[in-house]
Amino acid sequence: YLTANPQVTGFAVADKALEGKTAEAIVMMRAAVEQGTDPIALIGALAMKLRTIAKASAVRAGTISQAEAKTNPWVLKNAMRQLGGWTSAGLAHCIRMLAWADEQSKTNGGDPVYALERCIEDISHKGR
């Protein structure tokens, strides 16, 4: 049943996680892995989304300008809509979790799928 959804991408997984849909995001992640997507690619998609959220937060706070964010205006606008409920501490926690998941994916003793599930759970709960 996990191979029945060829539309699963890392960005679709990241979007579900950011929407707070933990179970859907995890099922999609497992389907992507089952279909041959490397966990590192999924971690990269999650990290890219969180970097954009961080940039949107900095733009909203006035720390950087939209030009300094160096992000497509449409992507930045979408990230601004996803900012609700995020705190700096929560975002930092999730970014550290992704770094840990990246380590788990690149070492012999790690379990990248477990690490991805933990990251998705944390992202879905906005780092709380």
Query: Is there a domain that residue 1 lies in?
Result: no
Tell me if 41 is assigned to some domain. Answer: yes
Structural domain count of the chain:
1
Cα 27 versus chain centre, distance: 15
* Predicted local confidence at residue 63, as pLDDT: 92
Any domain includes 5: no
Q: Is residue 115 one of the residues assigned to a domain?
A: yes
Q: Is residue 109 part of a domain?
A: yes
Task: Give the predicted TM-score (pTM) of the model.
Answer: 0.88
* CATH code of the domain in which 26 resides: 1.20.272.10
Domain assignment present for 3: no
- C-alpha 107/C-alpha 105 separation (Å) is 6
Residues of the chain with pLDDT under 50: 1
> Measured on CA atoms in the order 23, 26, 28, 30, is the torsion positive or negative?
negative
Cβ burial of 84 (10 Å; 0-12, 13-18, 19+) is: exposed
pLDDT of residue 109: 75
- Which residue range forms the structural domain that includes residue 89? 10-124
Tell me what pLDDT residue 51 has: 94
The pLDDT score that the predictor gives to residue 34 is 86
Query: So what's the pLDDT on residue 118?
Result: 94
Spatial separation of the C-alpha atoms in residues 16 and 8, rounded to whole Å? 11
Residues 6 or more apart from 32 whose CB is under 8 A from it? 8, 9, 10, 13, 42
pLDDT at residue 37, as a whole number:
87
**What pLDDT, in 10s, does the model give residues 60-84?**
999 999 999 999 999 999 999 989 8
> Does residue 72 fall inside a structural domain?
yes
Is residue 17 assigned to a domain? yes
> Cβ contacts of residue 100 below 8 Å, gap of 6+?
115
Cβ pair 25, 16 in contact under 8 A: yes
